[in-house]
A and B are shown apart, each in its own frame.
Chain A
Amino acid sequence: MEFDLSEEQRLFTDTLGALLNDQVDLDKIRAVAEAGTGLDPELWQQMTELGVPGLVIDEAHGGVGLGVFEAAIAAEALGYGAAPLPFAATSVMAPLAIATLASPAQQSALLPSIAGGERRVAVGLQRDARFEGNKVSAELDAVIDAGGATDLLVLASDGRAACVSADDSNVSIALQPSLDRTRPVATATIQGADAEILVGNSAAGVDSVIDAGRVMLAADTLGAAQRMIDDAVAYVKEREQFGRAVGSFQSVKHVCAEMVSMLEPCRALVWYAAYVQDTKDPEARSAACHAKAHLGEVGRDVARMATECHGGMGFTDLLGLHYWLKRIGADRQLLGAPEQCRQEAAVAQGWIGG
């Protein structure tokens, strides 16, 4: 039993964190936010060289062959750096859905190009997508990772799934400016587009893909909230009022203590939730729901409190702190608000009927 990162996992997350720290500065974040694409091509290339898009894809299909756990620690690092990149859908949900629901031939056709970074798949959920032969129709809102997407994966809650090309004339993806300017949301209209219908047809499979996505969003919030705390602590050590560092006032230091008291246990919760996705533990679903819900709650509080610690500067655009606050806000709203996730956790544990 070891509830900790392994040496390899630590090395991986340190390497990724160092690269992001080096490459993603506020100017880059602002540039991507301005463009509204949610994708910095240079950064994407660097991530591809590190294997990030193929993290959860098996080696036979050109990936790294790691699990949801490693993807979660990557998501934490991406959140910490507010990296303007597609990830939860493109590098985790889509490859997992294809590995779970697609035929061997479909996997060979799709996975290597995802691992190689050329194919970027956005994901949209819809209860009643219409499947007719090899064609699919759907109206999707809140498509995740749509910026720079080459493909769009439609997941229906009944277990059906289909992949369409973003370039198809019957597919229209409209990027919309999101609260989180670094990661646009999109609506998509698909009208009888040619589709790669995934043959698996498993509602449980679709659920497990959503669970993995929820763990990624929770991990992203964990990283982003940790960054906000680190910034706040550094700021209150420097900023002086009344002739002393404001961090020496108990009113301020207690806010910092409250933030870490809330967030530190979240790291263990996210790790656990990610780990049980890989082991297919019976608690996988409820753990993912709890991680998503709890990080949504804690993230919101930490984002506010860390901003308060910066005083008026925290509210300005100048400091850029708001990019992390908004990232946390977007993570909370995607794939089910906390109340919805807790409801699903209750069902998953058999506490109430579905």
Chain B
Amino acid sequence: MDLNYSKNHEDLRAEVRAFLDEFGAQSPKPGGGRKRPDQRTLDWQHMLLERGFCARTVPTQYGGFGAEPDILEAAVIAEEFAGSGALPGLSNQGISMLVPTLLEVGTEEQRERWIKPTIRGDIFWCQGYSEPGSGSDLAAARTTALVDGDDFVINGQKIWTSSAHFADMMFLLCRTEVDKGKHDGLSYLLVPMDSPGIEVRPLVSMTGRAEFNETFFTDVRVPTDQIVMGRGDGWRVANNTLKHERMLLGSPEKLMNRLERIRQMMTETRIDNVALIDRAEWRDRLLRLQGEVIAAKYNNMRIVSEQAKDVDPGLKRLIVKYSGTMVAHRLSALAVDVLGQSGLVYDPQGEQLEDSDATTWLVDYMYDIGLIIGGGTSQIQKNIISERGLGLPREPKVAAAKA
């Protein structure tokens, strides 16, 4: 155990701090829901890319900073940005999920073509995984892509496609090998969203906003080289992508940030002229959550330390999505309770306008439930934890799924 950082890491920390001191005011406000990055956000992203504060280990020929992989450097940068309240580099499904996947298993041509515009924010991606009939059972996907000449021809329907209404591209899990089994019949394709035959219909969530969509494919053609890895490798590629998504969803930085905001609210909110922080029953709820948040924070540091040594963190990584999203929801629930009856005012503005504190917390309170379900439900996470992490036997199969 040594929680001191090396001189190189402390130098990097100083560099990030100096940058944030000088330019932090130019940062767009974090949050604001899913929307296409505006010019200010793009300018900010380009400043960060230039200094290696995002896409740090992406090789320079793909538009990155080209640093050697050093997970502690990433942790130092994340800590400093979290502490300053500035927007860290863009985080979306293209950057967080597709780019690492292409770096791992993409072809040279795919990396050169897609990574640079993606990390610069010029190309925005959405994820085509779930279908009405295949949610938790993702591998049962029925959307087909059949070869016709030099093209795949895609037919079917995807659901919960966040950002599809403004995305340029989709990474799509679909069935190319109809004569093969459930898992090895799938492929992972890269599909332009302006292709003829794609129709996007917004889906309004319980927050009242259209955060995601249904996406329909009717004879959509993409060239056969727009595939990541080979035909039938889609399940492997998709799982690789999901691993990146789950760590993102359970991130402890968000929990720490929320805890501090709630604590401040509890010093300002009074009942009978006594601040909630001075009321034992309220305070104990906050402190109980603080214990969970601290545990999550240091569990994450343990994961980072092991990844830096190329050790698979195993169980401690597998639990992050399930436990992180549950704690997040308990935090937003406490915030809503602190807001009390005046916090019932729910008046979400459009995508470009800022919401009131109460509305923001209520959106989180609802959106958190979406995150508990999305990216693999808590129940699926518990299957993964117990089967892959603890070696418990799988549920016997009732019958082979139909392709």
Residues of A within 8 A of B (CB): 1-6, 9, 69, 233, 236-237, 244-245, 247-250, 253-254, 256-258, 260-262, 264-269, 271-272, 275, 279, 287, 290, 293-294, 297, 338-339, 342-343, 345-346, 351-352
Given B3, B284, B394, which contacts A1 in the complex, CB threshold below 8 Å? B3
Across the interface, A254 reaches (CB within 8 A) one of B75, B291, B382, namely B382
Interface centre among A4, A268, A339 (most CB of B within 10 A): A268
Answer whether A4 and B295 are a contact pair too, CB < 8 Å, given A237-B393, A248-B395: no
Would you call B342 an interface residue if the criterion is a C-beta within 8 Å of the partner chain's C-beta atoms? no
Question: Number of contacts between A and B (CB, 8 Å)?
Answer: 159
Bound: A250/B379 CA distance, A: 9
Which of B32-40, B193-201, B383-391 participates in binding chain A?
A: B383-391
**Chain A residues with Cβ under 8 A from B381's Cβ?**
257
A9 touches B396 (CB 8 A): no
Jot down 11 A-B pairs with beta carbons below 8 A, ordered by A.
A1-B6, A1-B9, A3-B304, A6-B1, A237-B391, A254-B382, A265-B319, A275-B3, A294-B292, A294-B295, A345-B290
CA distance A256 to B382 in the complex (A): 8
B173-216 at interface with A (beta carbon < 8 Å): none
- For the complex with contacts A237-B391, A253-B382, A338-B288, 20 further pairs of A-B residues with Cβ separation under 8 Å are A1-B5, A1-B72, A3-B301, A3-B302, A233-B391, A245-B392, A253-B386, A261-B323, A261-B382, A261-B385, A265-B298, A265-B299, A265-B323, A269-B298, A271-B1, A272-B3, A272-B294, A272-B298, A287-B294, A342-B288
Determine if B319 and A264 form an interchain contact, defined as CB atoms under 8 angstroms apart. Answer: yes
Most buried by A among B309, B322, B389: B389
Chain A residues, CB < 8 A from B341 = none
Cα separation A9 to B287 with both chains bound (whole Å): 31
Interchain CB contact under 8 A, B390 and A266: no
Contact B304 A253 (CB under 8 A): no
Contact call B1/A346, Cβ cutoff below 8 A? no
Check A245–B393 contact: CB distance below 8 A.
Answer: yes
Query: Given the interface contacts A260-B385, A261-B322, A262-B323, does A343 sit within 8 Å of B392 by beta carbon?
Result: no
Inter-subunit contact B393/A2 (CB<8 Å): no
A264-B9 contact given A256-B392, A345-B287, CB 8 Å threshold: no
Candidates A247, A266, A268, A352; contact of B301 at CB < 8 Å: A268
Across-interface contacts of B305 in A (CB, < 8 A):
1-4
A260 contacts across to B, CB distance below 8 A: 315, 319, 385, 389-390
A189 to B145, alpha carbons, bound, how many Å?
Answer: 83
Of the candidates A245, A264, A269, A271, the one having the most CB atoms from chain B within 10 angstroms of its own CB is A264
Are B396 and A244 interface neighbours, CB within 8 A? yes
Indicate if B109 sits at the interface (CB-CB under 8 A).
no
Residue-by-residue, is B296-314 near A (CB-CB < 8 Å gives 1, otherwise 0)? 1011011011100100000
Flag whether B263 is at the interface (Cβ < 8 A).
Answer: yes
- Most central of B304, B393, B396 by chain A CB within 10 Å: B393
Segment with Cβ contacts to A, from B110-118, B234-242, B275-283: B275-283
Bound CA span A271–B305, Å: 14
Residues of B within 8 A of A236 (CB): 392
Name the one of B263, B304, B386 contacting A257, with C-beta atoms under 8 angstroms: B386
User: Which residues in window 353-397 of B have CB below 8 A to A?
Assistant: 379, 381-383, 385-387, 389-396
Q: Which 4 A-B pairs have the closest CB atoms?
A: A268-B298, A294-B291, A265-B295, A257-B382
Can you name the residue of chain A whose Cβ is closest to the Cβ of B316? A264
Q: How far is the CA of A47 from the CA of B5 in the complex (A)?
A: 35
Interface residues of B, count at CB 8 A: 51
Contact B386 A254 (CB under 8 A): yes
Q: Does B2 contact A (CB under 8 A)?
A: yes
In the bound assembly, the distance between CA atoms of A264 and B250 in angstroms comes to: 15
Q: Give the nearest-CB partner of B393 in chain A.
A: A248
Which label, helix, strand, loop or mixed, suits the secondary structure of the A interface? helix
Task: Please give, as numbers and ranges, the residues of chain A lying within 8 Å of B1 by CB-CB distance.
Answer: 2-6, 9, 69, 271, 275
Considering the chains assembled together, what is the distance between the CA atoms of A243 and B72 in angstroms?
Answer: 49
Q: In the complex, A250→B1 CA distance in Å?
A: 37
Task: Determine the distance from Cα of A90 to Cα of B126 in the docked complex, in whole angstroms.
Answer: 60
For A291, the closest partner residue in chain B by CB is B291
With the chains together, A249 CA to B9 CA distance in Å? 47
Q: Is B4 part of the binding interface, using a Cβ–Cβ cutoff of 8 Å?
A: yes
A266 lies within 8 A of B295 (CB): yes
> Closest chain B residue to A5 by CB distance?
B1
- A351 near B263 with CB under 8 A, answer yes
List chain B residues, Cβ under 8 A from A244.
393, 396
Pair A290/B291 contact, Cβ less than 8 Å: yes
Determine how close the nearest CB of chain A comes to the CB of B106; give it in whole angstroms: 31
Q: Judging by beta carbons under 8 Å apart, are B298 and A233 in contact?
A: no
A297 touches which of B6, B263, B288, B316 (Cβ 8 Å): B288
> Closest residue of chain B to A281, judged by CB?
B3
Q: Which of B291, B393, B396 has the most CB of A within 10 A?
A: B291
Instruction: Give the contacts of B1-29 with A (CB-CB under 8 A).
Output: 1-6, 9
Q: Tell me the minimal C-beta distance from A205 to chain B in angstroms.
A: 24
User: In the complex, what distance in Å separates the CA atom of A265 from the CA atom of B324?
Assistant: 11
Q: Which residue of B lies closest to A9 (CB)?
A: B1
Q: List A contacts of B292 (CB < 8 A).
A: 265, 294
How far is it, in angstroms, between the C-alpha of A324 and the C-alpha of B295 when the chains are bound? 23
| Complex Cα gap A272–B297 (Å) | 10
In the complex, the chain B residue whose C-beta lies closest to that of A254 is B382
**Quick one: closest B residue to A264, CB to CB?**
B316
Residues of B within 8 A of A1 (CB): 2-6, 9, 72, 75, 301, 305
- A218 vs B379: C-alpha distance in the bound complex, in angstroms? 29
Decide: A271 and B298 in contact? CB cutoff 8 A.
yes
Pick from B283, B319, B391: contact of A346, CB under 8 Å: B283
- The contact of A264 among B299, B309, B396, by CB within 8 Å, is B299
Tell me whether A247 and B298 are in contact (CB under 8 A): no
Q: How far is the CA of A233 from the CA of B296 in the complex (A)?
A: 23
A102 CB, nearest partner CB in chain B, Å: 28
In the complex, what residues of A have CB within 8 A of residue B278's CB? 352
